Amino acid sequence: MVHDQRSALSTYLASLLSAGRVVFSIEEAEQALGVSRGAFLDAAERLQRRKHLLKPRQGFYVIVPPQFASWGAPPPSWYIDALMRHENQPYYVGLLKAAEMHGATHQAVMEFQVVATKRIPKIRAGRNLIAFYY
């Protein structure tokens, strides 16, 4: 039974990726899979250990596509909007990262900088660091 739930979660992740989505919430997954929260968390933890899934915040998951397996996570620009909507926080990509995205810097920025309206802890997502400025 547990094996079926794991493969069901893997199939669900593959279907999201094929639809162009890399993020989902725990509530979405529970509803789509029809499993209990405990069963989902067990299966998700196994996939996190295998580096197929990332949990930057409680109840919010990011799928690691195969092309970003060596990085440990897709680029933050792929999921920062969904993450901040999940956190219900207004934000903007700012400082040096915004300049880089507009082609105004000559060097790569080492962290993804986000300006938010409250203090939010930094997130280490694979190789990426998301720093929040208040």
Are residues 84 and 30 located together in one domain of the fold?
Answer: no
* pLDDT tens-place string over residues 15-27: 999 999 999 999 9
Q: Label residue 82 by pLDDT band (50, 70, 90).
A: very high
Are residues 10 and 62 located together in one domain of the fold?
Answer: yes
Mean pLDDT of 81-85: 96
Distance between CA atoms of 52 and 64, rounded to whole angstroms?
5
Are residues 64 and 84 located together in one domain of the fold?
Answer: no
Number of domains observed in the structure of the chain: 2
Are residues 81 and 118 located together in one domain of the fold?
Answer: yes
Are residues 112 and 57 located together in one domain of the fold?
Answer: no
**pTM of the full predicted structure?**
0.87
pLDDT reading at 9 higher than 90: yes
Are residues 64 and 91 located together in one domain of the fold?
Answer: no
Are residues 57 and 88 located together in one domain of the fold?
Answer: no
**CATH number (domain holding residue 51):** 1.10.10.10
Are residues 8 and 60 located together in one domain of the fold?
Answer: yes
Are residues 45 and 94 located together in one domain of the fold?
Answer: no
Distance between CA atoms of 28 and 33, rounded to whole angstroms?
9
> What integer pLDDT is reported at residue 1 of this predicted model?
42
Distance between CA atoms of 118 and 23, rounded to whole angstroms?
23
Distance between CA atoms of 32 and 51, rounded to whole angstroms?
22
> What integer pLDDT is reported at residue 94 of this predicted model?
86
Residue 114's domain spans which residues? 76-133
Are residues 6 and 64 located together in one domain of the fold?
Answer: yes
pLDDT reading at 125 higher than 80: yes
User: How many other CB atoms sit within 10 Å of the CB of residue 112?
Assistant: 22
Distance between CA atoms of 108 and 106, rounded to whole angstroms?
7
* pLDDT tens-place string over residues 42-80: 999 999 999 999 999 999 999 999 999 999 999 999 999
pLDDT reading at 37 higher than 90: yes
